[in-house]
Amino acid sequence: MTEELLDQALVEEATKKSGLIWVRGGGVPALDAPGHGAPSRALWHVWHDGAACLVGDGPGEQPLPGLADGGDAVVTVRSKDKGGRLISWSAKVVELTPTSPEWEAAVGELKGKRLNAPDGEAMPQRWARECRVLRLEPSGTTAELPDGSLAQPPLPTPATTRRPIPAALPRLLLKRRKRR
């Protein structure tokens, strides 16, 4: 019982303080390893009323792939000061109904944390029309963090191209060093 309360306190405190959480939908903590299911995605969130609240899947908002109402997710929280993995916990995904009291409370918290919103005060109405607001409620189990790296190779994209560096660049860089 004491260990469960300590785990719950660690999940809450670490998630509150972290600006980003890594979320993988449809995951099971025992399978929280590379090659199992969809990759984890970094998402901004707000801790509110015992759960991590997210907004996304709309124009200009973060994508929430693999997070379905009633489904499971694995949340990995990083340390705010060092950036390393701190704890991994399993969650139940709950989609909030727009304009319900729970939705209004969550959106009130999310609205204050949303940076660079294109529509300012009209943001909650846009979220109600075009986005999903989710709660990731801890299900009470935490997972052991793996020892090794969970780095995945980047997804292929035509946007990444490499060109030779300009011939004058080394001279420009050396001039800056000599001036100091």
pLDDT exceeds cutoff 60 at 31? no
pLDDT in tens, 105-134: 999 999 988 888 888 888 999 999 999 999
Which contiguous run of DSSP H or E holds residue 174?
helix 169-179
Mean pLDDT of 157-174: 78
Burial of 12 (0-12, 13-18, 19+ CB in 10 A): middle
pLDDT in tens, 67-85: 989 999 999 998 877 777 8
- Please report which confidence band the pLDDT of residue 161 belongs to, taking 50, 70 and 90 as the band edges: low
Compute the distance between CA of residue 70 and CA of residue 72 in angstroms, rounded to an integer: 7
What ranges make up the beta strands (E) of 108-159?
132-143
| Furthest C-alpha separation in the chain | 66
* Token pair 């190779």: residue: 153
Q: Tell me how far CA of residue 174 lies from CA of 100, 110, 137, 165, 168, in angstroms.
A: 61, 47, 54, 15, 10
| Residue 30: per-residue pLDDT | 44
Read off the pTM.
0.74
Torsion sign across C-alpha atoms 48, 57, 20, 22:
positive
In the chain, the domains with their CATH numbers are: 2-179 (2.30.110.10)
